[in-house]
Amino acid sequence: MTTINSKQVQGSQLVFENATFAAQKSLVENHIEISVSEGVTIISVSAHTKAHIHILHNFHGTLPHTQIEIRIQSGAHALIIETYAVTEKLPKANITTNIAVGNGAHCEFISLQHLSEGAQFAQTISVQQSENSHYTAHVYQICGSILHSKLGVEKIGTQANTAIYGLSYPHRKEQFEFDTTVKHSCPDCETAENFKIIAADHSVGIFGGMIYVAPHAVKTAAQQSNKNILLSPNARIFSKPQLEIYTDDVTCNHGSTTGQLNNDALWYMQARGIAPETAKQLLIQAFVHEITEKLPTQELRDFVAAKVQ
Amino acid sequence: MQFAINSIFAIKLQQNTKTQLRMLQIRNLHASVQGKEILKGVNLTVNKGEIHAIMGPNGSGKSTLSAVLAGRDVFEVSEGEILFNGKDILPLPAHERACEGIFLAFQYPVEIPGVSMTNFMKAAIDAKYAYRGEEAPSASEFLKKMKAMRSMLGLPEKLNNRSVNEGFSGGEKKKNDIFQMAMLEPQLAILDETDSGLDIDALRIVADGVNQLKHADNAYIVITHYQRLLDYIVPNFVHILYDGRIIKTGDKSLALELEEKGYDWLIQ
Ligand SMILES: Nc1ncnc2c1ncn2[C@@H]1O[C@H](COP(=O)(O)OP(=O)(O)O)[C@@H](O)[C@H]1O
Ligand SMILES: [Mg+2]
Q: Tell me the three state secondary structure of residue A154.
A: strand
> Structurally, how many domains does chain A consist of?
2
Query: Between A262, A275, A290, which is nearest B95 by CB?
Result: A275
Residue nearest to atom 3 of ligand 1 (CA): B33
Chain A closest CA to B93's CA: distance in Å? 9
Q: Do B123 and A262 touch (CB under 8 A)?
A: no
Residue nearest to atom 13 of ligand 1 (CA): B59
Backbone angles phi, psi at A259, to 5 degrees: -150, -165
pLDDT in tens, B84-138: 999 999 999 999 999 999 999 999 999 999 999 999 999 999 999 999 999 999 9
Q: Sheet harboring B51-55: ordered strands across?
A: B102-105, B188-192, B219-223, B51-55, B237-242, B245-250
Q: DSSP character for B160?
A: G
Q: What is the domain range of residue A18?
A: 2-260
pLDDT in tens, A135-151: 999 999 999 999 999 99
Domain ends where: A228, A243, A260?
A260
Q: Are residues A84 and A203 in the same domain?
A: yes
A-facing residues of B in 64-123 (CB < 8 A) are 70-72, 93-95, 98-99, 103-104, 106, 109-115, 119-120, 123
pLDDT averaged over every residue in chain B: 92
C-alpha closest to that of A293 among A106, A113, A165:
A165
Q: Are residues A123 and A201 in the same domain?
A: yes
Q: Are residues A250 and A269 in the same domain?
A: no
For residue B58 and ligand 1, the question of a CB distance below 6 A is answered with yes
Q: What is the mean pLDDT of residues A192-203?
A: 98
Q: Are residues A171 and A280 in the same domain?
A: no
Q: Tell me the three state secondary structure of residue A48.
A: coil
Question: What ipTM does this complex have?
Answer: 0.92
Whether the CB-CB separation of B154 and B30 falls below 8 Å is answered with: no
Query: Between A264, A276, A278, which is nearest B123 by CB?
Result: A278
Q: Which residues of chain A have a CB within 8 Å of the CB of B114?
A: 283, 285-287, 289-290
Q: Are residues A245 and A128 in the same domain?
A: yes
Q: Are residues A36 and A152 in the same domain?
A: yes
Q: Are residues A158 and A273 in the same domain?
A: no
Distance of alpha carbon B103 from alpha carbon B109, whole angstroms: 13
Q: What is the mean pLDDT of residues B249-266?
A: 92
CATH code given to domain B50-71+94-267: 3.40.50.300
More confident residue, A307 or B166: B166
Q: Are residues A198 and A272 in the same domain?
A: no
Backbone angles phi, psi at B9, to 5 degrees: -60, -40
Q: Are residues A271 and A235 in the same domain?
A: no
For residue B63 and ligand 1, the question of a CB distance below 6 A is answered with yes
Choosing from B34, B64, B242 the residue with most ligand 1 atoms within 8 A of its CB, the one to mutate for a pocket test is B64
Among the atoms of ligand 1, which is closest to the Cα of residue B58? 23
Query: Between A267, A274, A276, which is nearest B123 by CB?
Result: A274
Q: Are residues A58 and A168 in the same domain?
A: yes
- The residue of A272, A288, A293 whose CB has the most chain B CBs within 10 angstroms, and thus the best one to mutate to test that interface, is A272
Is the CB of residue B131 less than 8 Å away from at least one CB of chain A? yes
Q: Are residues A171 and A306 in the same domain?
A: no
pLDDT in tens, B168-210: 999 999 999 999 999 999 999 999 999 998 999 999 999 999 9
Q: With 50 as the cut, is the pLDDT of residue A5 above it? A: no
pLDDT in tens, A58-106: 988 667 799 999 999 999 999 999 999 887 776 788 999 999 999 999 9
